[in-house]
């Protein structure tokens, strides 16, 4: 085995506990979704309480991701990452011990702080462990973990909640986390600490307030109403703070987010393209649980099995796409991937409640292929385009923008769905086919079937409308990549790195 192969093998061994930490964070959201009804039952929680158990996590992540990545550039990133895992495991244990919704929201915030440190540094660790030209495969693993968490969460969460209790959706993180912490301590070499400069606390505060207000308005806008004074206040607050942050970052000598990164074409194109696709993916896929559990009466665990086509296809495609992105112009893979996702959206614009498992599997499979073809090459191109001393900053920025894109996608998808539903059921725009609602309508249908028929037909039509509308976003992603990405520049840098010369 050559010295180069040995160093790559050591890098893979070191990255395994890092990938375990990432998977915990990604899995946590979808696992908890399944347990929320049981938590509500135990705590006597209202819907708004349950929403804040989820929203506290998302808000914390968006607000702190850029800061977490930047700190990783300044301190030993390996130790900082381990600290994040310790905080996440502690937060998980405390969440399992929660005695009411207020305590769980507080502990979820703590858990999110640990998760932010993990998520904000994973790609940066990969960029430091693996040299340019050898990062494609590890970006493929990152894409697999991201896609798999979406469908494995309901399966794992459903089993734990059904056979044990909701506490175990948090307890499961503890043994995994302890093993990952021990492995990371012994396998991760010294990383990060490449920029010994002061932390830009002014920028951190301005960005936190701006992104926090913007994300809160996006998350709660549908509940409060998009023209409600609370929603508008969030957006009005966000704008001047984000503007002030931009102006401050341009003048401070040690910015938290170096805006000159956006002058790097491949970085900007990659960030914009992935954010647009994340927006379209989230707006589309959030509808599936209501269809599978509300109309087809599947359990959350069974619904997870119905969606496995996406991570299965992604698992096959992402590593290959990642590896190829270092050997051929990644523009071709990255621009073709969103078109596969668009094909998947076109396929599901015709599904109805009678669809069978394998037919559904075949229709959504192109979505997994498309995500695999885009995500691993994209992250590879983005991180390879920035200086190594700023990979944490870049990592945090990418994660923050993508998380914000997901939140916006869910919000817009919800607006499209409920607006269309109001055409079928006037005055009941927020009524959706959850299992409880459908059981009531089925009983009522013994006397009057009209409301049940309207709910089923209205939701299916509204779901098709969401899918049809979202087709434009993967196509837009493909066009942006095809027109603006300098893929040959990435390949040239990767080849030069494999030969041991500076590109």
Reported as a single tens digit per residue, the pLDDT across 417-436 is 877 877 777 665 556 666 66
Enter the pTM of the model: 0.82
Q: Which two tokens stand for residue 424?
A: 């079928």
Paired tokens of 289: 């649980």
Instruction: Provide mean pLDDT across the span 467-493.
Output: 87
Q: Does domain 3-199+256-498 have CATH number 1.20.1250.20?
A: yes
What's the rounded Cα separation, in Å, for the pair 441 and 435? 10
Average pLDDT over residues 467-484: 92
Closest residue by Cα to residue 151 from 346, 353, 300: 300
Q: Cα(463)–Cα(483) distance, rounded to whole angstroms? A: 31
Residue 339 pLDDT: 94
- Residue 365's pLDDT is what? 93
Looking at residue 503, its pLDDT comes to: 44
Rounded mean pLDDT, 275-292:
83
Give the distance from CA 54 to its chain's centroid.
Answer: 14
Domain ranges of the chain: 3-199+256-498, 200-255
Burial class (CB in 10 A: 0-12, 13-18, 19+), 358: exposed
What six digits make up the tokens of 490? 């990435």
Alpha helices in 120-172 (DSSP H): 122-129, 136-163, 168-171
pLDDT digits (tens, 9 = 90+) for 301-310: 787 788 888 8
Please check whether residue 313 is in contact with residue 151, taking contact to mean a CB–CB distance below 8 angstroms.
no
Two structure tokens written together for 481: 């990549």
DSSP state of 257: S
Q: What is the pLDDT of residue 409?
A: 83
What are 188's two structure tokens? Answer: 């991760």
Confidence tier at 341 by pLDDT (50, 70, 90): very high
Determine contact, residues 456/237, Cβ cutoff 8 Å: no
Burial class from Cβ neighbours inside 10 Å (0-12, 13-18, 19+) for residue 443 reads exposed
Q: pLDDT tens, 170-226?
A: 888 899 889 989 998 988 888 766 667 777 888 888 888 888 888 888 877 777 777
Tally of CB atoms within 10 A around 356: 7
Enumerate the H helices of 194-308 as residue ranges. 201-224, 229-251, 265-285, 288-289, 300-306
∠ Cα 363 365 369 (to 5°): 140
């Amino acid at each position: 085995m050559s010295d180069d192969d040995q160093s790559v093998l050591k890098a893979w061994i070191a990255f395994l506990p890092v990938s375990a930490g990432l998977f915990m964070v990604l899995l946590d959201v979808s696992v908890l979704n399944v347990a929320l009804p049981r938590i509500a039952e135990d705590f006597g929680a209202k819907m708004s309480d349950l929403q804040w158990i989820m929203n506290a996590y998302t808000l914390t992540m968006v607000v702190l991701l850029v800061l977490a990545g930047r700190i990783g550039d300044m301190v030993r990133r390996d130790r900082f990452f381990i600290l994040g895992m310790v905080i996440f495991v502690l937060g998980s244990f405390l969440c399992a011990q929660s005695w009411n919704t207020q305590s769980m929201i507080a502990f979820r915030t703590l858990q999110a702080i640990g998760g932010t440190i993990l998520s904000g540094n994973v790609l940066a660790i990969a960029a430091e462990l693996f040299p340019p030209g050898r990062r494609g495969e590890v970006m493929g693993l990152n894409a697999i973990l991201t896609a798999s968490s979406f469908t494995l969460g309901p399966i794992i969460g459903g089993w734990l909640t059904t056979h044990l209790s909701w506490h175990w959706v948090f307890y499961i993180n503890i043994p995994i986390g302890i093993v990952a912490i021990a492995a990371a301590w012994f396998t991760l070499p010294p990383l990060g600490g490449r920029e010994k400069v002061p932390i830009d606390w002014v920028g951190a505060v301005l960005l936190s307030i701006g992104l926090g207000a913007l994300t809160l308005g996006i998350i709660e806008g549908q509940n409060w109403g998009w023209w409600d004074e609370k929603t508008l206040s969030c957006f009005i607050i966000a704008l001047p703070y984000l503007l002030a942050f931009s102006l401050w970052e341009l003048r401070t000598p040690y910015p938290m987010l170096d805006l000159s990164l956006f002058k790097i074409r491949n970085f900007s194109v990659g960030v914009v393209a992935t954010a647009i696709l994340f927006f379209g993916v989230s707006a589309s896929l959030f509808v599936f649980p209501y269809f599978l559990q509300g109309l087809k009466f599947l359990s959350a665990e069974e619904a997870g099995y119905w969606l496995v086509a996406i991570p299965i296809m992604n698992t096959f495609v992402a590593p290959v796409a990642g590896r190829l992105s270092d050997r051929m112009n990644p523009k071709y893979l990255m621009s073709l991937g969103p078109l596969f996702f668009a094909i998947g959206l076109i396929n599901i614009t015709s599904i109805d409640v009678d669809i069978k498992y394998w037919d559904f599997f075949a229709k959504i499979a192109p979505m997994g292929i498309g995500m695999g073809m885009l995500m691993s090459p994209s992250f590879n191109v983005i991180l390879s385009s920035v200086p190594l001393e700023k990979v944490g900053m870049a990592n945090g920025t990418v994660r923050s923008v993508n998380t914000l894109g997901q939140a916006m996608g869910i919000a817009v998808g919800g607006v499209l769905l409920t607006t269309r539903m109001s055409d079928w059921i006037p005055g009941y725009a927020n009524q959706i086919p959850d299992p409880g609602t459908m059981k009531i309508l089925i009983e009522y249908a013994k006397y009057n079937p009209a409301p049940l028929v309207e709910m089923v037909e209205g939701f299916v039509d509204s779901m098709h409308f969401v899918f049809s509308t979202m087709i434009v976003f993967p196509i837009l992603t493909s066009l942006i990549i095809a027109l603006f990405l300098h893929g040959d520049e990435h390949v040239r840098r990767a080849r030069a790195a494999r030969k041991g010369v500076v590109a």
